[in-house]
Amino acid sequence: MLTILFDGFAYGMILFVLACGLSVTLGLMNFINLAHGAFAMAGGYLTVVLMNRFGVSFFLCIPAGFLVSAALGILLERTLYVRLYARSHLDQVLFSIGLVFMAVSGIDYFMGAQQQLITLPPSLQGRVNLFGIQVGVYRLFVIAICLVLALALQLVLTRTRFGSQLRAAVDDARVARGLGINVSLIFTFTFAFGSGLAGLGGVLGAEILGMDPTFPLKFMIYFLVVISVGGTTTLTGPLLASILLGIADVAGKYYVPTVGSFIIYTIMVVVLILRPQGLFGRATTR
């Protein structure tokens, strides 16, 4: 029972890392980026290639996944995404679905359709006894990283100069520009950061979630559920929502396997009926 709770918690934390990048682009920049999972897949596949072909240590893959996905984010933001900020949400949805289709086929072409496996370093394998429950070392490691990340992210957004510049740029780009804030640079940086977080989630999730070419489509729904249930105005919302969904999903699959992913979808629809802006979101005028 407690083990399930713990596994669900770890699963939820990975969902959080994957989704909080999206909450940065979607919530802060108001861009519906369904291609978020593709950036996560980039991180995941990078790990697979680095570890299995070049024997790079898993610990090095973690920053590498972040940096490469972030670089990819900068590249795409500068060339493509920047043209779509002012467009309708429909255009953004179509554009990013197009990117997902391309990413899925591209990975299929280069890496094949099979599931990719990685072997964790010995120091992360096995289980330890923590307060009387058996917990996986890797899951403990993931939780620790994610908690640190969540805290750091929250501090950056609320306490730093960059955070307030970003919020100003989002609220009114024109006025922010007038105040001497380099809005397009901030947007590029933020997008890259969101993509980097996705890549990081992909690295950490490769072992637990599995990596295959359909990853962006399969998990797109989960990210969006986390974001829409948690609301996008704060980071606490997605954090609590991911934990809730992670536990509900793992417990649901364990106790009532016949119901499957039904639980998650139902939670989402019910939450959205009751609170369209998400459980923890504020109603915005936009």
Partner 1 sequence: MSLLSSYFRPDTATATGTLLAPARWRPLEILFWLVAASLLWLAPSKVLLLNEIAILALFVLSLDLILGYAGIVSLGHGAFLGLGAYVAGLLGKHGFTDPIAGLLVAGAVSGLLGFVTSFLLLRGSDLTKLMVTLGVALILRELANKFSNITGGADGLTGVVIGPVLGLFEFDIFGKTAYAYSLAVLFVLFYVARRLVNSPYGLLLRAIKGNSLRTGAMGVPTNRRLVQIYTIAAIYAGIAGALLAQTSQFVSLDVLDFHRSADALLILVLGGSGHLWGAVIGSIAFKFMYDYLAAITPQYWQFWLGLVLVLIVLFGKGGILGFVQVARDWLAHRLKQGGVP
Under rule CB under 8 A, residue 78 binds partner 1? no
How far is 94 from 101, CA to CA, in rounded Å?
A: 11
| 15, 40, 54, 115, 139 from 120: Cα distances, Å | 19, 19, 15, 16, 12
How far is 200 from 204, CA to CA, in rounded Å?
A: 6
Closer residue to partner 1, CB minimum distance, 57 or 266:
266
Question: Which of the ranges 10-18, 133-141, 234-242, 259-267 carries the binding residues for partner 1, by CB under 8 A?
Answer: 259-267
Closer residue to partner 1, CB minimum distance, 87 or 167:
87
Closer residue to partner 1, CB minimum distance, 47 or 228:
228
| 26, 146, 149, 178, 181 from 189: Cα distances, Å | 14, 21, 17, 19, 13
Cβ within 8 Å of residue 182, ≥6 positions away:
none
Minimum CB separation of residue 125 from partner 1 in Å reads 34
Of 165-194, binders to partner 1 (CB under 8 A) are none
Q: Which of 108, 100, 104, 145 is nearest to 124 (CA)?
A: 145
Q: Which of 148, 157, 201 is nearest to 22 (CA)?
A: 201
Under rule CB under 8 A, residue 1 binds partner 1? no
Under rule CB under 8 A, residue 142 binds partner 1? no
Under rule CB under 8 A, residue 200 binds partner 1? no
| 3, 30, 123, 259 from 210: Cα distances, Å | 20, 29, 20, 22
Q: Which of 4, 27, 49, 25 is nearest to 203 (CA)?
A: 49
Question: Which of the ranges 11-19, 58-66, 169-177, 253-261 carries the binding residues for partner 1, by CB under 8 A?
Answer: 253-261
Question: Which of the ranges 143-151, 180-188, 235-243, 263-271 carries the binding residues for partner 1, by CB under 8 A?
Answer: 263-271
Q: 284: how many CB neighbours lie within 10 A of its CB? A: 10
The phi-psi region of residue 252 (left if phi > 0; otherwise alpha if psi is between -120 and 50; otherwise beta) is alpha
How far is 200 from 17, CA to CA, in rounded Å?
A: 7
Task: Count residues binding partner 1 (CB under 8 A).
Answer: 44
Under rule CB under 8 A, residue 15 binds partner 1? no
Among 99, 166, 197, 244, binds partner 1 (CB under 8 A): 99
Among 59, 60, 106, 114, binds partner 1 (CB under 8 A): 106
Closer residue to partner 1, CB minimum distance, 24 or 104:
104
Minimum CB separation of residue 101 from partner 1 in Å reads 3
Among 60, 80, 144, 175, binds partner 1 (CB under 8 A): 80
Among 18, 29, 32, 40, binds partner 1 (CB under 8 A): 32
Closer residue to partner 1, CB minimum distance, 100 or 203:
100
| 64, 135, 175, 199, 210 from 49: Cα distances, Å | 12, 28, 45, 14, 14
- Binding residues (CB under 8 A) for partner 1: these are 26, 32, 80, 83-84, 87, 89-91, 93-95, 97-106, 108-109, 217, 221, 224-225, 227-228, 258-262, 265-266, 268-269, 272-273, 276-277, 286
